[in-house]
Chain A
Amino acid sequence: MERKARLCGIAAAIAIFAVMAYLLGHYSDFVYKFAALSSFDCSWGWFAGLWDRPGALLLWSGRFLTQFCFHPWVAIVILLSIFAASAALAAGLFVRDRRFRSLALLPVVAMLLFLMRLGFRVYLLKSDALIFTQPLGLFFSLGVVWVLSGVRSRRGLALCLAALLSYPAAGFFGLYAILLYGAYASVRCEGIAGVQLPLLSLCLAAVVPLLSYILLFNGCDIRNMWFIGLPYLDFRLASPKMLPLGIALVSVFALAVIPWKEGGGRQLWPAFATCALVVALSVPSLYLLPCRDALFHRQLKAERALEKGDWDAVIRCANASQLTGEVLVAYRNAALFRKGQLVEKGFLYPFSTVPVMDSGEELPVSRLAGPTMFYYSGLLNFAARWCFELNLGASYATERLKYLAKIALIADERELASKYISALARNPFQKAWARRYAACLDDPSLLQDDPDCKAYGPMQDFEQLTWIPSESASGSIPQSFILMSDLCPSGNYTEWAMAMSMVFRVDSNFEELYANYASSHASVPDEVRMARLIFSSESKDPERVRKVREETGIDSPLIAEYESFMLRRLTDPDAVSEGNRYLNYYYKPAK
């Protein structure tokens, strides 16, 4: 009977873990993002620096394991192993009736759901490495209970020692471990110990953070001392985002306080029913509840494609649906720029975007993707600025350190680049990247072969400054380039300024911009010449019209095309929305 119950539990576990593995694998770009947005440094100084608040060991371990997310399948295996170990520990420690042990799978399912429901919030997390800190925290707590459960004498002293050690190491999860042991003791310990130990655990959970604040961590906010280790800076503890995490923690607690009957009864059906219930709850939840925001997953995919330089994939991600976001539009333009098609094709794709929403709140685009958007658009100072902004209150994420290093290299700020590259070199997972760019410090000519440097290096020669006010960074890429069109930029900025002037039909300084563009390009695309023709005609300035027509060539097919189009437009206004020429775009009626 026991064997059958166990097999049934194992089958349920396999089914659930298979779904979990599939889910994480399917969203591997999401797993990868955790690594990109986290940091790790193997130096002693960095480790020591984490001990200014409770939970340092957990944070360090979480950040270390998060680095495996650069190889998502390795991270998935580690994560699922932690989940499996946690479920096994919870089952073994708390669920004395073997027939109900599959219930221990529910907390880890809830924990995974918490992670998978983060959606766009993953970009804004101040608690980086969340993908591992929370599962590790749960595992740590269960481990502490397991160790304490083996203590047969002086259990009170052992509990005090555990509280004093586990709180600095694991923060909230240290306290959770103590409370969990209290719950365990209330059921498992006989006599007065069954009362004393739970009471002691409650007292310790209340007092240890206070003592730690007074003696050890006086740089912390006392009101947060009980929650450090949870993502309390990112979500209200009672927010819907925190609900799955809350369920995970409470359900483990519930397993601990239920007075299971030792060994269980003889009937087998409760085992089958429990397994069926657990699977029935878990599998649909894992299918339905993770963040399914297509915009979010397209953005993640586009970011990995950008990193690989797969411009076609970026454009595909951006154009996969009529519904697109500001970030994807910026990525698409960057990809078109890198393909040399921004001027000719920039206007073909939709520019209208939907705001990024999460739990009814619009999320600031620059904070979601400021560094990436600005970096790939060649606005490197803005990218650096947003790297700093996002590092504030969070960690120096690997992704941002790489941008900062490359920006410094492109700007020939070698000492600065060296600082960032050295930091990356202290991350064992980034040594190869650091080695590659450290070589450029010694031999800057190597940088000429770097595609990013080739594309953005010439843009940095633009001496005249442009600006964006600090408070309105989102959506400022087109705005910046349009402003630049007034300043008549040179180099690759001309490409951008021309494309954005065409897309947004801005004629404030088009003639000068055109002259600059023409002088820096071997041939001017027909669409640009057509734009000039249109802008001049629409300006109603006879002198300008005459000059442009003369320079275009009175007999030019372009002029014939323009005039025939305008004639058709008079008689057949619908004609303007057909076709994929700039003429069609310019005269397309606004919706």
Chain B
Amino acid sequence: MKTAVHLIAALALLLSAGCSNRVPQVNPCGEVARIKPDYTGITIPCNIAPLNFEVLNDADVVLTEISFPSGKIMTVRGADVSFPVSRWHALLSSAPGDVMLRVFVRRNGSWTALEPFKWHVSKDETDPYISYRLIEPTYAMAGDMAVCQRSLTDFRWKEIFSNKLDVGRDARQCINCHSYQAYRTSNMQFHVRQKDGGTIIIRDGKPVKVNLKADGLLSAGVYPSWHPSEPLIAYSLNSTKQYFFASGHQKAEVIDSYSDIILYDAESNTETVISDDKDDLETFPYWSPDGRSLYYCCASTTDVHRTAKSSLISGDYESVRYDILKRDFDISSRSFSTPDTVLNASALGFSATFPRQCPTGPYLLFTMAPFGNFHIWHSDADLYLKNLETGEVRPADEINSEAVESYHSWSSNGRWVVFSSRRDDGAYTRLYLSHFDGEGGFSKPFVLPQKSPRSGDALFKSYNLPEFMLEEVPYSPKELIRTVRSESTTAILSKD
């Protein structure tokens, strides 16, 4: 009996030694740690969700040592490195600085230290929530889609609205273009197309359904932008068609044949035209953070472009290029100035879209590609930054990749940007975050952290239209579906 007890004790000791998380005393061998997602050398907000990752280097056993700025050390065994949320935050937020990561791999019984890497923890917090739409990469018919919100400080997510709530045999709804006023969710909007179509506008917590297609307007409102303080939403009106290509790396093209810009007053339910020049395609309105200017994109066009078929065949659509314009806005009289050109992209042989001004500095971030306005389909689309004081324009090379970078949003403190990129596989858009130093520089971007590092591989949806939020959307999909099913009120076009 005694012998047996000794044997068991010895075995337990051996096993516990084998499972020890004690870091081996070996020096780095020059081999780079291959981790997925690539979180090496990045700057992260001090309130970000745990950066769980997977070590891809060949190994029998993997041991990762994480040294936090507070001096605390955590050791994780296994190729999947994941952190409990509460412990992560306790360790991370204690002191900004650098987190050092050392990965050790055991092969054939001997340990090797991979080259260490670090995370710089910035004291600049990110907004706690983000919202986005989950959709298939290519489609014309509406299928399962949802506008979702995700906590950036952990992995909680939920659907704001989903078309699964109104499922029928016939055509489903398309839901799109979620937008918030000044990062707050008490005033927000999204569109529902097709079945029970309309724009759901939530003002002071009360949702209503509005038909923005007033008589005399080109279409209902499409791309929205809430005024930062007033009950006003600028919309583009677009006559848009999507085309699919037989061969080549570009799979589809989306072309506007007509587009205008209007202003919707949510208080009076009236619309006024801001710009509807017949020779211009105006789109993507966006308010400056102070609400005193409205940016938008504008391309000069001809009838040839409008005949989409001939335009596509001849390749003329590749000559449609958008500039960034700005109109000053007088809040008291609610009147706009004549447009100023902020960026004459077409003169440079480019087309610029999605102008977004940093809330805390004179910087304008936008997307640019050789032509068109639907840059998610243009693999050469990149993000560019314009210094509005010096006029300097430069490609944001720190965050661009060889694949498409497109829609982007600034955090409310102007220190973080989230943007969509297809760099992972060329087809499925993923969200990347990057730190902005306030002086025109970005840090290496990192993909939105996920609980399981492999979950991105198994997700066959694209992230679309990422927007930062300071608070959760408080309405449940069940509450919103009642509004969606209700009768809409049609906006009135003001002739002033």
Instruction: Give residues of chain B (403-448) contacting chain A, Cβ–Cβ below 8 Å.
Output: 424-428
Query: With A and B bound together, what is the CA distance between A459 and B246 in angstroms?
Result: 10
Instruction: Give residues of chain B (446-472) contacting chain A, Cβ–Cβ below 8 Å.
Output: 452, 455, 457-458, 460
Report B-chain residues with C-beta under 8 Å of the C-beta of A464: 315
Residue in chain B with minimal CB distance to A461: B247
Q: Is A219 an interface residue (CB 8 A)?
A: yes
- Bits for B135-176, please: 1 = Cβ < 8 Å to A, else 0: 011111111100000000000000100101111110010000
Interface residues on B, range: 35 or more
Q: Of B64-72, B237-245, B355-363, B365-373, which binds chain A?
A: B237-245
Q: Is A471 an interface residue (CB 8 A)?
A: yes
Choose one: A221, A235, A416, A469; the contact of B167 (CB below 8 Å).
A221
Instruction: Report whether B169 and A234 are in contact in the complex, using a CB–CB cutoff of 8 Å.
Output: yes
Query: With A and B bound together, what is the CA distance between A389 and B138 in angstroms?
Result: 7
Instruction: Report whether B458 and A467 are in contact in the complex, using a CB–CB cutoff of 8 Å.
Output: no
Instruction: Report whether B458 and A389 are in contact in the complex, using a CB–CB cutoff of 8 Å.
Output: no
Query: With A and B bound together, what is the CA distance between A77 and B296 in angstroms?
Result: 64
Choose one: A396, A418, A463, A487; the contact of B460 (CB below 8 Å).
A396
Q: Is B348 an interface residue (CB 8 A)?
A: no
Q: Is B334 an interface residue (CB 8 A)?
A: no
Q: Is A422 an interface residue (CB 8 A)?
A: yes
Choose one: B144, B246, B252; the contact of A480 (CB below 8 Å).
B246
Q: Is B478 an interface residue (CB 8 A)?
A: yes
Q: Of A82-90, A148-156, A319-327, A375-383, which binds chain B?
A: A375-383
Report B-chain residues with C-beta under 8 Å of the C-beta of A471: 140
Instruction: Report whether B143 and A470 are in contact in the complex, using a CB–CB cutoff of 8 Å.
Output: no
Query: With A and B bound together, what is the CA distance between A493 and B142 in angstroms?
Result: 31
Instruction: Report whether B248 and A391 are in contact in the complex, using a CB–CB cutoff of 8 Å.
Output: no
Query: With A and B bound together, what is the CA distance between A464 and B247 in angstroms?
Result: 8
Report A-chain residues with C-beta under 8 Å of the C-beta of B241: 469-470
Q: Is A460 an interface residue (CB 8 A)?
A: yes
Report B-chain residues with C-beta under 8 Å of the C-beta of A396: 460
Q: Given A381-B246, A465-B245, list of 8 further CB < 8 A pairs?
A: A45-B452, A221-B165, A385-B244, A385-B252, A388-B139, A413-B427, A419-B457, A466-B246
A interface, CB within 8 angstroms of B: 41, 43, 45-46, 218-221, 224, 232-236, 379-382, 384-385, 388-389, 391-394, 396, 408, 411, 413, 415-416, 418-419, 422-423, 426, 459-460, 462-471, 480, 483-484, 486-487, 493
Report B-chain residues with C-beta under 8 Å of the C-beta of A462: 246-248
Of B249, B424, B425, the most chain A CB neighbours within 10 A belong to B425
Instruction: Report whether B167 and A463 are in contact in the complex, using a CB–CB cutoff of 8 Å.
Output: no
Quote the shortest CB–CB distance from A512 to chain B (angstroms).
Answer: 15
Q: Is B273 an interface residue (CB 8 A)?
A: no
Task: Give 11 A-B contacts (CB < 8 Å), ordered by A residue.
Answer: A220-B164, A234-B169, A389-B140, A393-B143, A416-B427, A460-B247, A460-B248, A466-B313, A468-B246, A469-B241, A487-B313
Instruction: Report whether A465 and B251 are in contact in the complex, using a CB–CB cutoff of 8 Å.
Output: no
Instruction: Report whether B139 and A392 are in contact in the complex, using a CB–CB cutoff of 8 Å.
Output: yes
Query: With A and B bound together, what is the CA distance between A45 and B455 in angstroms?
Result: 8
Instruction: Report whether B426 and A416 are in contact in the complex, using a CB–CB cutoff of 8 Å.
Output: yes
Q: 8 nearest interchain CB pairs?
A: A392-B143, A470-B140, A415-B425, A393-B143, A416-B425, A467-B243, A465-B245, A388-B138
Of A218, A467, A468, the most chain B CB neighbours within 10 A belong to A467
Quote the shortest CB–CB distance from A389 to chain B (angstroms).
Answer: 5
Q: Is B217 an interface residue (CB 8 A)?
A: no
Instruction: Report whether A389 and B141 are in contact in the complex, using a CB–CB cutoff of 8 Å.
Output: yes
Choose one: A392, A419, A469; the contact of B425 (CB below 8 Å).
A419
Report B-chain residues with C-beta under 8 Å of the C-beta of A480: 246
Q: Is B250 an interface residue (CB 8 A)?
A: yes
Of B309, B427, B452, the most chain A CB neighbours within 10 A belong to B427
Report A-chain residues with C-beta under 8 Å of the C-beta of B138: 384-385, 388-389
- Bits for B290-310, please: 1 = Cβ < 8 Å to A, else 0: 000000000000000000010
Query: With A and B bound together, what is the CA distance between A397 and B181 in angstroms?
Result: 41
Quote the shortest CB–CB distance from A390 to chain B (angstroms).
Answer: 9
Instruction: Report whether A380 and B313 are in contact in the complex, using a CB–CB cutoff of 8 Å.
Output: no
Report A-chain residues with C-beta under 8 Å of the C-beta of B425: 413, 415-416, 418-419
Report B-chain residues with C-beta under 8 Å of the C-beta of A381: 244-248, 251
Instruction: Report whether A380 and B458 are in contact in the complex, using a CB–CB cutoff of 8 Å.
Output: no
B interface, CB within 8 angstroms of A: 136-144, 159, 162, 164-169, 172, 241-253, 309, 312-313, 315, 424-428, 452, 455, 457-458, 460, 476-478
Quote the shortest CB–CB distance from B162 to chain A (angstroms).
Answer: 6
Query: With A and B bound together, what is the CA distance between A465 and B377 in angstroms?
Result: 14
Instruction: Report whether B313 and A486 are in contact in the complex, using a CB–CB cutoff of 8 Å.
Output: yes
Residue in chain B with minimal CB distance to A464: B315
Residue in chain A with minimal CB distance to B311: A467
Instruction: Report whether A218 and B140 are in contact in the complex, using a CB–CB cutoff of 8 Å.
Output: no
Report B-chain residues with C-beta under 8 Å of the C-beta of A46: 458
Report A-chain residues with C-beta under 8 Å of the C-beta of B140: 385, 389, 470-471
Query: With A and B bound together, what is the CA distance between A234 and B309 in angstroms?
Result: 35
Query: With A and B bound together, what is the CA distance between A407 and B136 in angstroms?
Result: 17
Query: With A and B bound together, what is the CA distance between A379 and B244 in angstroms?
Result: 11
Residue in chain B with minimal CB distance to A483: B313
Instruction: Report whether B172 and A389 are in contact in the complex, using a CB–CB cutoff of 8 Å.
Output: no
Report A-chain residues with C-beta under 8 Å of the C-beta of B460: 391, 396, 423
Report B-chain residues with C-beta under 8 Å of the C-beta of A413: 249, 425-427
Report A-chain residues with C-beta under 8 Å of the C-beta of B251: 381, 384-385
User: Beyond A224-B167, A468-B243, A469-B241, is A392–B248 a contact (Cβ under 8 Å)?
Assistant: no
Residue in chain B with minimal CB distance to A422: B457
Instruction: Report whether A470 and B426 are in contact in the complex, using a CB–CB cutoff of 8 Å.
Output: no
Report A-chain residues with C-beta under 8 Å of the C-beta of B159: 219
Report B-chain residues with C-beta under 8 Å of the C-beta of A385: 138-140, 244, 251-252
Residue in chain A with minimal CB distance to B245: A465
Choose one: B139, B245, B452; the contact of A389 (CB below 8 Å).
B139
Instruction: Report whether A382 and B244 are in contact in the complex, using a CB–CB cutoff of 8 Å.
Output: yes
Report A-chain residues with C-beta under 8 Å of the C-beta of B428: 416, 419
Residue in chain B with minimal CB distance to A228: B167
Quote the shortest CB–CB distance from A54 to chain B (angstroms).
Answer: 13
Residue in chain B with minimal CB distance to A413: B426
Instruction: Report whether B245 and A467 are in contact in the complex, using a CB–CB cutoff of 8 Å.
Output: yes
Query: With A and B bound together, what is the CA distance between A557 and B238 in angstroms?
Result: 59
Report A-chain residues with C-beta under 8 Å of the C-beta of B141: 389, 392
Report B-chain residues with C-beta under 8 Å of the C-beta of A486: 313
Choose one: A45, A392, A483, A493; the contact of B136 (CB below 8 Å).
A392
Report B-chain residues with C-beta under 8 Å of the C-beta of A380: 246-247
Instruction: Report whether A467 and B427 are in contact in the complex, using a CB–CB cutoff of 8 Å.
Output: no
Choose one: A43, A224, A416, A470; the contact of B244 (CB below 8 Å).
A470
Of B167, B172, B315, B452, the most chain A CB neighbours within 10 A belong to B167
Quote the shortest CB–CB distance from B377 to chain A (angstroms).
Answer: 11
Of A382, A385, A394, A469, the most chain B CB neighbours within 10 A belong to A385
Residue in chain B with minimal CB distance to A232: B169
Quote the shortest CB–CB distance from A340 to chain B (angstroms).
Answer: 20
Report A-chain residues with C-beta under 8 Å of the C-beta of B248: 381, 460, 462-463, 465
Quote the shortest CB–CB distance from A347 to chain B (angstroms).
Answer: 22
Quote the shortest CB–CB distance from B240 to chain A (angstroms).
Answer: 11
Instruction: Report whether B242 and A382 are in contact in the complex, using a CB–CB cutoff of 8 Å.
Output: no
Residue in chain A with minimal CB distance to B456: A419
Instruction: Report whether A468 and B427 are in contact in the complex, using a CB–CB cutoff of 8 Å.
Output: no
Choose one: B165, B169, B246; the contact of A220 (CB below 8 Å).
B165
Quote the shortest CB–CB distance from B407 to chain A (angstroms).
Answer: 20
Report B-chain residues with C-beta under 8 Å of the C-beta of A415: 424-426
Instruction: Report whether B162 and A219 are in contact in the complex, using a CB–CB cutoff of 8 Å.
Output: yes
Instruction: Report whether A388 and B167 are in contact in the complex, using a CB–CB cutoff of 8 Å.
Output: no
Report A-chain residues with C-beta under 8 Å of the C-beta of B245: 381, 465-467
Instruction: Report whether B169 and A236 are in contact in the complex, using a CB–CB cutoff of 8 Å.
Output: yes
Quote the shortest CB–CB distance from B201 to chain A (angstroms).
Answer: 23
Query: With A and B bound together, what is the CA distance between A451 and B127 in angstroms?
Result: 52
Residue in chain A with minimal CB distance to B137: A388
Report A-chain residues with C-beta under 8 Å of the C-beta of B162: 219
Choose one: A224, A465, A483; the contact of B247 (CB below 8 Å).
A465
Residue in chain B with minimal CB distance to A468: B244
Report B-chain residues with C-beta under 8 Å of the C-beta of A466: 245-247, 313
